[in-house]
Amino acid sequence: MIETSVESKAAPLSAEELRKINAYWRAANYLSVGQIYLFDNPLLREPLKLEHIKPRLLGHWGTTPGLNFIYVHLNRIIKQHDLNTIYITGPGHGGPGLVANTYLEGTYSE
């Protein structure tokens, strides 16, 4: 067995940083699920009805939370180190996640 060790000089994230990251991730997931499944009533201001739900789903929920998780953590690292980075994903299924994140960060309309 090969043993390796990696020394990290980074401090753990604070409780406040973790709270913000988790809130952002949950918001991105909420927006993503709405894009995948709903035609209308995304804030559930009335009981969900069949006509609110899309007959054909565009996107894949199994892909989206993972992409959102990577996005929020990568975004933190980009800001922390002032990096020029591009996040490339495969075509299609994860689209709602990327749209949700770019909407939340304000770059969707750029």
Q: Is position 7 within any domain?
A: no
Q: Is position 1 within any domain?
A: no
For 95, the domain range is 15-42+49-105
Note the pLDDT tens digit of each residue in 89-98.
Answer: 887 788 999 9
Note the pLDDT tens digit of each residue in 23-77.
Answer: 999 999 999 999 999 999 999 999 999 999 999 988 888 899 999 999 999 999 9
Q: Is position 55 within any domain?
A: yes
Q: Is position 110 within any domain?
A: no
**pTM here?**
0.85
Tally of domains in the chain: 1
- DSSP class of residue 82? T
Q: Is position 76 within any domain?
A: yes
Q: Is position 10 within any domain?
A: no
Return the exposure string of 37-50: e unless at least 16 CB atoms fall within 10 Å of the residue's CB, then b: beeeeeeeeeeeee
